[in-house]
Amino acid sequence: MRKTARDIAFKLVFESLINQSGGNITYRKFCEPLDADDRAYVDEILSGVRDSKTVLDGVIEGYASGFSLSRIYKIDRAVLLVAVYEILYKDDVPVKVSANEAVELAKTYSTDNSPAFINGILASVIKDRDGILSAAASQAPGEAERAPKSPEPGENADKAT
């Protein structure tokens, strides 16, 4: 289930923020019960966040009024990294699903104020998505390959949840 895969991806991104790297043991343990599709989704999120981290951090910091990255709780930052990656680069995931799932992760794992903080940032990212992608493409040529992809023919956007 995509929701479970997203939760696992968030936990692994959080671990990488704490340990400065991802743990193979943790990855194997978390991904063990997943089917091949969900494991592929976790892998895609992890590699996408890693490859686009500079852009994602810049977007998060840009919309976190008055908060530098160092002031944002690592849990909230991990939630935001996953959600902003999905919003910018995963056309097969509706942006509202990404935002809603991020708020739910914050409700489960973070502080009482975090869901509203995360929702505010994501609402702005969604509103400015096209401009963010244009700016990212012009500033970071290596990020061009991270541009959003169209779903393959026959893919159903409903399977994003």
In this prediction, residues 149-159 reach a mean pLDDT of 34
Return the minimum-mean-pLDDT range out of 31-40, 96-105, 113-122, 144-153. 144-153
3-class SS of residue 23: coil
What is the pLDDT at residue 2? 87
- The residue type found at 21 is S
Q: How high does pLDDT run on average in the chain? A: 86
- What's the pLDDT score for residue 21? 66
pLDDT of residue 140: 52
**Topology annotation, domain 2-147:** N-utilizing Substance Protein B Homolog; Chain A (1.10.940)
Are 42 and 5 a contacting pair, CB within 8 Å? Answer: yes
Question: Which position has the token pair 């343990």?
Answer: 29
Enter the DSSP assignment of 154: T
List C-alpha distances in Å: 80 to 9, 36, 91.
Answer: 12, 25, 17
With beta carbons less than 8 A apart as the criterion, state whether 2 and 160 touch: yes
Neighbours of 34 (CB within 10 A): 16
Would you list the domain boundaries of the chain? 2-147
156 phi/psi in degrees, rounded to 5: -110, 120
pLDDT digits (tens, 9 = 90+) for 45-98: 999 999 999 999 999 999 998 899 999 999 999 999 999 999 999 999 999 999
The pLDDT assigned to 151 comes to 30
95-109: average pLDDT: 97
The mean pLDDT value for 93-112 works out to 97
What mean pLDDT is predicted for residues 12-24?
84
